[in-house]
Amino acid sequence: MDAQHCKMNGDPFQESMYIEESSNKSGVISLIFSLKEEVGALAKVLRTFEEKGINLTHIESRPSRLNKDEYEFFINLEGKNVPALDKIIKSLRNDIGATVHELSRTKKKDTVPWFPRSIQELDRFANQILSYGAELDADHPGFKDPVYRARRKEFADIAYNYKHGQPIPRVTYTEEEKKTWGTVFRELKSLYPTHACYEYNHVFPLLEKYCGYREDNIPQLEDISRFLRTCTGFRLRPVAGLLSSRDFLAGLAFRVFHSTQYIRHASKPMYTPEPDICHELLGHVPLFADPSFAQFSQEIGLASLGAPDDFIEKLATVYWFTVEFGLCKEGDSLKAYGAGLLSSFGELQYCLSSESEIQPLVLEKTAVQKYPVTEFQPVYYVAESFKDAKEKLRKFAQTIPRPFSVRYNPYTQRIEVLDNAKQLKNLADTINSEMGILCNALQKIK
């Protein structure tokens, strides 16, 4: 493992990770396993490899920072040992009680894609944007505007230099930028009472009161991020442009939303070919302050961690038709909760008109629906409620083929991989403690 994997943001590597890195040497299999610190433990492991005729080409050890009574071992095996590998891993887990993570193998289907295990690791991919940023496509409204392009570079530099834990730099927006924001803010706000869901309309006045949401003011990401953390633990992080679906969804697993700071070109205030601060702050932010919606968003992110590429595509499509363009029932009427709708004056009206096609939210069907990016959607899916959407997502996530489950630990801000008995026991203890609190509270209510 290189130094980047062994040391992250100044902190020693604390627990083994599933990694798929291009730097793996051809024909080499790598494993990490942990053992209790006791006499003869390593000897048993080495004997197991010897009995199977497996040659170790490299081995190193380190004290486990996760469990003080354990040691972690990193080993390399020759690629020719692949046929016996499954038996070895089974023996290490069942006969010796080791916790084993396979890091690489020549068989592609057995490799789990890398995913962040700590919130600091979001720094690793936050600048790997797919498009826009400081560069603009030829059909972008600001492509021929040198002043706008220079301004976009300023915003991109802020995002590129940002690291987790830092306050988000404040931006002094120009009068032209504030005028563009004001036009969008005024037009959309007139529709929210009749078109947006209850949860959105409940939060919006709070953003006006605490975060500077006004027609003549573009709110600062840092102020909003602090507000969201007090509501649901969500936070914002500046980004220069579009991330890959895998990276963007991984952020949600930590309750981190990657947000742009730049604004659309002034020549077309009611149109943008990309997410901008109007879309982020008017479309996404309000519902991140709602506990139920925040949990739904995080569960999409958790479901994506270590998922195969084809399921990432399905989860991204589910995200598109829910978090971006979702509708929900509210009494006898339909309301919008999708950010793409709540930040688009034209589509917000269209989606609730008699012209649009409405279907119930069935994730197996929704996940494979094709969609355009720059046009009104061909179909909108309706959830009975956020709770209903969460339950459907949980069932859908169970179909994702990965050899473990995950949970987010909000105290350590880390992802815990639930793939061994000790992790499951720790989880059971946590649940048991919470159940005790619940039972005690119910008795007092009676």
30 is catalytic: no
Select which of 91, 104, 343, 405 is catalytic.
343
DSSP letters spanning 224-282? HHHHHHHHTS-EEEE-SEEPPHHHHHHHHHTTEEEE------TT-TT--SS--HHIIII
Active site residue 5: no
**DSSP 8-class letter at 420:** S
The Cβ-side half-sphere exposure at 137, using a 13 Å CA radius, reads 9
Tell me whether residue 343 is one of the annotated catalytic residues: yes
Residue type, 406: V
User: Which one of the listed residues 199, 279, 304, 405 is annotated catalytic?
Assistant: 279
Q: One of 265, 274, 284, 405 is an active-site residue; which one?
A: 284
279 is catalytic: yes
245-253 and 309-319 helices, crossing angle to 10°: 70
Per DSSP, which regions of 89-233 are E strands? 99-104, 131-132
Q: Between the CA of residue 268 and those of 63, 139, 377, 399, what are the distances in Å?
A: 58, 13, 21, 43
List 324, 344, 347, 405, catalytic entry: 324
**Phi, psi dihedral angles at 372 (to 5 degrees):** -90, 155
Query: How many other CB atoms sit within 10 Å of the CB of residue 23?
Result: 10
SS3 68: coil
Q: Which positions are catalytic?
A: 279, 284, 324, 343
